[in-house]
Amino acid sequence: MPVQGPASHQISFRSSLARLAPEARPIIPRLLAGLGVGLSASVLAVLVPQVFRAVIDALLRPGAGPSAVVWASAVVLVMGVFEAVLTFLRRLFVLDPATNVEASLRVKIYRHLQLLPVSFHDGWGSGQLLSRAMTDLNMLRRWLAFGAIYLVISFATVIVGISMLFTISWQLALIFLAAAIPISIYSFRFRRQYVAASRRSQDQAGDLATAVEESVHGIRVLKAFGRSREALENFALQAEGLRETEVAKARHLAVFSMVVTLLPELALGSGLMVGLWLAATGQITVGALAAFFATAAAVANPVEMSGALVGMALTAKTAIDRHYEVMDEPVTITDPAGPVGPADPAGPVGPARAGSRPPSSASHGALAFRDVRFAYEPPRPSRTTARPAQAAKQAPRRAAAHDDGRPVLRGIDLELVPGETMALVGITGSGKSTLLQLVPRLYEVSGGAVEIDGVDVRDLPLAELRRIVSVAFEDTTLFSSSVRDNVLLGAPVREGAEAEALLDEALDVAQAQFAYSLPDGLDTRIGEEGLSLSGGQRQRIALARAIAAKPSVLVLDDPLSALDVATEERVEGRLREVLAETTTLIVAHRPSTVALADRVALLRDGEIDDVGTHSELLARNAHYRYVIASLDTEPRDLDSGLDPDDSLDDLEEAR
């Protein structure tokens, strides 16, 4: 996870809180109402000892009758009932707005995550994002609904209570107040230590969530390689790290709580002796002495709770900081400032990039790469909180990739005419998938341009671009939803007869008719929480999804790799019909996929090495022969006449 902005302990509490202003503004009236009734309740609690004082003094007065006790009891009872009602009202006022803030922040972070580029997601563990969207916001809600209000109430109670103590006896009040000096000094140290521990623990919890998520996803791999024990050991190490941080946090809190409990008690103990002496010498009444200690007890309670309350506030501050670290990440792939009208025959509606001309009324799907250069962002330093040994094991995904900003694609020039199918071939790591992902702007070119119908893709509104371009990856993701919803995810219509026709056609082309015989037919829930499908079935659903989107440009990253030969052949047969109207760029790892293509582009170390028909390349390009020979030992349906012996020779030659 990248470090963004200043570390959280460098951001002041006030600055962190100020960031919540837009969410907090609408709920301020209710928070204030909650605070008002909460304050009233606590002031009532502090006032009760004054009634005791009056009662005791009245009873000790010569000739006093029992009526004073009856009256005092009635007053105390009424005050108690009031206090209970006010406490109830406080909860009622603040709970709803706090949940609103939580829900609103959660929706905002989700929306932002949707907008952030893929490069952002490459560098962040999913558990970190999960913990920020769930646990942190949950903590924040609890603090807003309880901690924040109670902190203010406690503070006010202490101020009012101490003022009352001074009205009863300034000497005793001074003794009590003396405890505040070491408490304030210690609280600075506590705050610093607790903020750091709180940040570490929330980050570690995120790392742990990532570890759980990864091992659940990779459970088959871990089992198959017999690595479950090692995964468990790593996890236990991380969990131990979190436990240690939690213990450190609790220790800081325990020491602080002890200080804030012990010192007022010590002050009260010494105050008692002075108080008895004051009462004995007639400087204060016995009722005043009793009232002093009852008030001091009412003040000591919020002081004792202050440790937990301050801890809660600091945890909430960390939660806010962590939330805004994600929210502050820039959305780098955006709609153009003045997009070229997507389908405007009358001409451009906004300033196009130099050289860009507006698209025609309907996209024809002419796809061009013009001097395209691309480098992945170098992996940024991880904010892993683990110890060095752990950190090495938890290096963020892709961090091990060689790319320290080094170009992956260099000067790619390629043109596909509308309706053409071009296969992209190259050895592993040559940049094929990267090139495909530039078309729908999953990544942004570092230089040059990708154009559709002569328009730079950066000049098209993103929604329009992603309507024109449809993708299917080898590594398929299906959502926890019905087959129907999954296939129609990007379709121009998603309901009604037209959608059903699209669905049927897409399933037919992708040879995914098996979906009709699933337990609930096309309504069967698939994806993570649904029925498990085989790799080939998943790929066919993903292919159907790409086809149902009715794109002008289809980008396929080896979408048939998990299919058996017979099914692949059937899919290819039907695909040829569909691809006749669609411009297709397809990464091929099998000669049979290459056979689909009108032309083949050979990518070599991030550059286009050659473009031509399969036969032309076979005839003239040794590297192509090497690549083809290494793709598949059984080139079934290629008209290549590739001689396996030749290919072996070439293989040697190319080496």
Cβ-contact 564, 388 below 8 angstroms: no
Pure H helices in 583-643: 591-594, 614-620, 622-631
Does residue 444 belong to the site contacting ligand ATP (CB under 6 A)? no
Q: CB-wise, 198 or 434, nearer to ligand ATP?
A: 434
Single residue of 359, 431, 490, 635 touching ligand ATP by CB under 6 A: 431
**Contact characters 596-625, ligand ATP, x per CB under 6 A:** ------------------------------
Single residue of 315, 356, 385, 434 touching ligand ATP by CB under 6 A: 434
Residue 198's alpha-carbon distances to 109, 192, 441, 501, in angstroms, are 21, 10, 38, 55
Q: CB-wise, 356 or 430, nearer to ligand ATP?
A: 430
Q: Which of these ranges, 82-90, 395-403, 572-580, 613-621, lies near ligand ATP under the rule CB under 6 A?
A: 395-403
CB 443, min distance to ligand ATP, A: 8
CB 406, min distance to ligand ATP, A: 9
Q: How far apart are CA 655 and CA 273, in angstroms?
A: 95
Does residue 376 belong to the site contacting ligand ATP (CB under 6 A)? yes
Does residue 429 belong to the site contacting ligand ATP (CB under 6 A)? yes
Does residue 433 belong to the site contacting ligand ATP (CB under 6 A)? yes
Does residue 210 belong to the site contacting ligand ATP (CB under 6 A)? no
Q: Which of these ranges, 146-154, 248-256, 430-438, 507-515, lies near ligand ATP under the rule CB under 6 A?
A: 430-438
Q: How far apart are CA 46 and CA 40, in angstroms?
A: 10
CB 375, min distance to ligand ATP, A: 9
Q: CB-wise, 175 or 608, nearer to ligand ATP?
A: 608
Single residue of 23, 57, 122, 335 touching ligand ATP by CB under 6 A: 122
Residue 579's alpha-carbon distances to 131, 478, 553, 572, 596, in angstroms, are 43, 23, 9, 10, 9
Q: CB-wise, 199 or 410, nearer to ligand ATP?
A: 410
Four-residue CA torsion sign, 257, 263, 266, 267: negative
Q: Which of these ranges, 40-48, 283-291, 363-371, 431-439, lies near ligand ATP under the rule CB under 6 A?
A: 431-439
Q: CB-wise, 339 or 448, nearer to ligand ATP?
A: 448
Element (H, E) at 370: strand 367-375
Single residue of 202, 204, 210, 430 touching ligand ATP by CB under 6 A: 430
Residue 469 pairs in a beta bridge with 553
Residue numbers 399-428 binding ligand ATP by CB under 6 A: 401-403, 408, 426, 428
CB 357, min distance to ligand ATP, A: 30
CB 433, min distance to ligand ATP, A: 3
Helix%, strand%, coil% for the chain, nearest 5? 60, 10, 30
CB 601, min distance to ligand ATP, A: 12
Q: CB-wise, 122 or 508, nearer to ligand ATP?
A: 122
Q: How far apart are CA 25 and CA 538, in angstroms?
A: 47
Residue numbers 229-288 binding ligand ATP by CB under 6 A: none
Cβ-Cβ contacts under 8 Å for 363 (sequence gap 6 or more): 343, 452, 453, 468, 552, 553
Q: How far apart are CA 199 and CA 126, in angstroms?
A: 18
Cβ-contact 241, 204 below 8 angstroms: yes
Q: How far apart are CA 466 and CA 333, in angstroms?
A: 13
Q: CB-wise, 430 or 470, nearer to ligand ATP?
A: 430
Q: CB-wise, 140 or 554, nearer to ligand ATP?
A: 554
CB 565, min distance to ligand ATP, A: 20
Residue 525's alpha-carbon distances to 349, 485, 490, 509, in angstroms, are 43, 9, 18, 21
Cβ-Cβ contacts under 8 Å for 318 (sequence gap 6 or more): 8, 136, 195, 198, 199, 202
Residue 600 pairs in a beta bridge with 423, 612
Q: How far apart are CA 32 and CA 42, in angstroms?
A: 15
Count, residues near ligand ATP per rule CB under 6 A: 15
Does residue 398 belong to the site contacting ligand ATP (CB under 6 A)? yes
Terminal-residue alpha carbon distance, the chain: 39
| Residue 90: exposure state from Cβ atoms within 10 A (0-12, 13-18, ≥19) | buried
CB 618, min distance to ligand ATP, A: 20
CB 32, min distance to ligand ATP, A: 48
CB 115, min distance to ligand ATP, A: 18
Q: Which of 43, 41, 38, 52 is nearest to 293 (CA)?
A: 52
Does residue 125 belong to the site contacting ligand ATP (CB under 6 A)? no
CB 436, min distance to ligand ATP, A: 8
Cβ count near 503 (within 10 Å): 20
Position 282: which residue type? G
CB 30, min distance to ligand ATP, A: 45
Following DSSP, what letter does each residue of 87-115 receive, concatenated? HHHHHHHHHHHHHHHHHHHHHHHHHHHHH
CB 122, min distance to ligand ATP, A: 4
Q: CB-wise, 269 or 429, nearer to ligand ATP?
A: 429
Residues that bind ligand ATP (CB under 6 A): 122, 376, 398, 401-403, 408, 426, 428-434
